[in-house]
Amino acid sequence: MSITLIGLDADDTLWHNETIFRMTQARFADLLKDHGDPAVIEEHLVTVERRNLAIYGYGAKGFTLSMMETALELSEGRVPSKVLAEILAAGREMMAHPIEPLPGVEEALAVLADQARLILITKGDLFHQEQKLAASGLGRHFHGVEIVSEKTPECYTHAFRRHGGDVAQAVMAGNSVKSDVIPALTAGAWAALVPYPLVWRHEAADAPADHPRYRELETLADLPGWVAEIRAAA
């Protein structure tokens, strides 16, 4: 089978992201230490985030609003304005945090770009995702960029068609089973999981068992070899 398109996730596949969120969450728990222990604060924040995803979407802006809402709820509206200001400052710092590509990503992208057209498929805030891609210096490797509100089978089908390919001849790779693997396989693409050490709780899902179009890889550097293997098997 000829692989014509390779889709790649961005956050925690090309550069660090969840690590930044975890550091901000620890800072948030410390700011609210008078209103509960870290575990209670985390659970409440997770609940608020889940409630708000359909409204604010994914990314640092929505996370900041959810932190503020959590602070107001846990304090019963008595959280000091100074704490709210600190939360806003933490959100701004997340937006401005330096982008650090993961080890070996630059080299892997150069090899992959010689195999097929690369499409960046990521979800989140449009402005921030565009900002991060520009700051990463990796944009030159990509034929196209798709920033979506949610990753669904239809999203992958339409994205690959827009860039001149068929979903059956496409590979999607990323760190999320829920967003990068399952919907891509459902659409009929090949899918590779490239694990990141930290998994956002809203992205937790079980990997498919024995699916012929699925492979878990150790790093993105292993993806070119799997693409070559798919072609050879055809």
What are the domain boundaries of the chain? 5-16+100-233, 18-96
Look at residue 209 in the predicted model and tell me its pLDDT: 86
| Residue bearing the bigger pLDDT, 210 or 185 | 185
Q: Residue 58: which pLDDT band, with cuts at 50, 70 and 90? A: very high
Fold agreement between 5-16+100-233 and 18-96: no
Class of residue 30 by CB neighbours under 10 A (exposed 0-12, middle 13-18, buried 19+): exposed
Look at residue 158 in the predicted model and tell me its pLDDT: 96
Q: Residue 153: which pLDDT band, with cuts at 50, 70 and 90? A: very high
Q: How far, in Å, are 47, 80, 168 from residue 40 at the CA level?
A: 11, 19, 45
The class of domain 5-16+100-233 in CATH terms is: alpha beta
Q: Which CATH architecture has domain 18-96?
A: Orthogonal Bundle (1.10)
Q: Taken in order 100, 106, 107, 111, is the CA torsion positive or negative?
A: positive
Q: Residue 1: which pLDDT band, with cuts at 50, 70 and 90? A: low
Look at residue 204 in the predicted model and tell me its pLDDT: 87
